[in-house]
Amino acid sequence: MNYSVKKIGQILNATTQIDSKIVTGVSFDSRKVKSGDLFVALVAENDGHDYVQQALTKGATAVLVDDRHQIDSKIPAIIVSDTLLALQQLGEYRRHQINPKVVAITGSNGKTTTKDMASAIMGSQYKTFKTPENFNNEIGVPLTLLTMPDDTEVLVVELGMDRPGQLTTLSELVSPDIAIITMIGEAHIEFFKTRENIAKAKLEITKGLKSQGTLLVPYDEPLLTNAQVKQNVQTFGQDIKDINSSSSKTIFTYQNTRFAIPLLGRYNIMNALAAISAGILLHIELKNAAEALQHFDLTKNRTEQLTTSHGVNLISDVYNSNPTAVAAVLATLKIIPATHKYVVLGDMLELGEQAASLHACLAETVINANVDGVYLVGPLMNKYLYPILQRRFDSAHLHQYETDQLAELIKDLQTLGENGDVILLKASHGIHLENVVNALVK
């Protein structure tokens, strides 16, 4: 990014002042501003306009502000009616100026892992940029567009969703060539009520999908395979052979090519096949895709494999959670070779009226996982799952904690297990089990 204030004003059809300054980056957090940044004063819980001077002190070249706030005439500025909308318009302009092939990914689970896999595959043959961390909303997506390098040939972008209409906005913003829906689960069912409504909202990703673009959906999800969309639809996930899992990787064969991914679980094979299918559409050779997936960079806390200070294997999957995701990761835990296995389950959030039944229905899945100990965290797990598990586990093997008792949980887990044992941690991000993981691997 290398725009003058005047150029940005022209792009946004906005008023400018001191417009000769050059902007080389963008930030909406005054604490993270770097020299050359455009500071975007967003109006949210905190009003970014209150931090304009702090941003300038940190090195901001200019500020993007709205016309309802007064700004010193001596400050380089772009003045608009809505700073969030202007940020999105600027990102959209850059998307079309650089004009990479765009792979957009959404889904109830697996979108970040699929993003990481797709980025590695595309990077084997193209100059590729991907969504940093989880920058997948109305703010994060335009920031992704504005931070991608000028020579980007393929952009792999993650699109999040928690309400109707959101994916329409994001899809139209990035105008994908390929769109992927990883799966339909129960995430955000509090707001959507049914999986059918979730599927309908996920299909909004096709609103910005180019007319000659392709939508990739899992072959075993009729809510997606039977959907009526204008673009080409292809399925992924079928025709896999020779599946074999160890404690550190999953091996499978697809189109006579052997893949070995450093992740556990059949659900991660589905994520891999979504990414591979996108690669095939962009003419990536399968041998290059296989090599890329052997050692790709995985975003933190997505089925991450770690080791505690005394040699216990940790499986950390604590960024989001819903019943489908818990069942999938527990099925994986069941086949991992280990002397003893333990599971830490935190509340699954945003399940609304179905929270009670969906937490309770995990009981059979937990019991069938053949674990040696269960540690439950949060009021939902303790109210709805704990009483059912009490019928199968005694007090020495079933434990419960409130969300403000993570210190006690850490203390109990620090002495749990021996070299070669496994502890799985799974919860919605709001439970903050990542703090437990960080404490155990110090």
Written in H, E and C, the secondary structure of 231-245 is CEEEEECCCEEEEEE
Q: Annotation-wise, does 417 bind a ligand?
A: no
Per CATH, domain 99-294 is 3.40.1190.10: yes
pLDDT of residue 334: 85
Strands of the sheet with 257-261, listed across from one edge = 240-245, 250-254, 257-261
Q: How far apart are CA 7 and CA 19, in angstroms?
A: 8
pLDDT of residue 247: 66
Q: Annotation-wise, does 182 bind a ligand?
A: no
Q: Annotation-wise, does 108 bind a ligand?
A: yes
Confidence (pTM): 0.84
pLDDT of residue 288: 97
- Strand ranges, E, within 116-249: 128-130, 154-158, 178-181, 214-218, 232-236, 240-245
Looking at the chain, the domain(s) classified CATH 3.40.1190.10 span: 99-294
Residue for token digits 């059979």?
364
pLDDT of residue 187: 67
Q: How far apart are CA 402 and CA 276, in angstroms?
A: 41
Looking at the chain, the domain(s) classified CATH 3.40.1390.10 span: 3-82
Q: Annotation-wise, does 208 bind a ligand?
A: no
Q: Annotation-wise, does 111 bind a ligand?
A: yes
Q: Annotation-wise, does 279 bind a ligand?
A: no
C-alpha pair distances (Å), 274 with each of 235, 252, 257: 9, 14, 15
DSSP code string of 138-157: TTHHHHHHHHS-TT-SEEEE
Per-residue pLDDT of the chain (442 residues; tens, 9 = 90+): 899 999 999 999 999 999 999 999 999 999 999 999 999 999 988 999 999 999 999 999 999 999 999 999 999 999 999 999 999 999 999 999 999 999 999 998 889 999 999 999 999 999 999 999 889 999 999 999 999 999 999 999 999 988 889 999 999 999 999 999 999 977 666 677 788 888 999 999 999 999 999 999 999 999 999 999 999 999 999 999 999 887 678 999 999 999 999 988 888 999 999 999 999 999 999 999 999 999 898 877 567 788 888 889 998 988 888 888 898 889 888 888 889 999 999 999 888 888 999 999 999 999 999 999 999 999 999 999 999 999 999 999 999 999 999 999 999 999 899 888 999 999 999 999 999 999 998 7
Q: Which tokens belong to 74?
A: 């001596």
Query: Per CATH, which fold does 3-82 belong to?
Result: 3.40.1390
Q: Annotation-wise, does 247 bind a ligand?
A: no
- Pick from 128, 404, 91: which is nearest to 279 by CA? 128
- Give the CATH number of domain 304-440; options: 3.90.190.20, 3.40.50.300, 2.10.109.10, 3.40.920.10: 3.90.190.20
Looking at the chain, the domain(s) classified CATH 3.90.190.20 span: 304-440
pLDDT of residue 302: 65
Strands of the sheet with 178-181, listed across from one edge = 128-130, 154-158, 101-106, 178-181, 214-218, 232-236
Q: How far apart are CA 233 and CA 376, in angstroms?
A: 41
Q: Which bin fits 142, alpha (ψ -120 to 50), beta or left (φ > 0)?
A: alpha
Q: Which uninterrupted H or E stretch holds 52?
A: helix 52-58
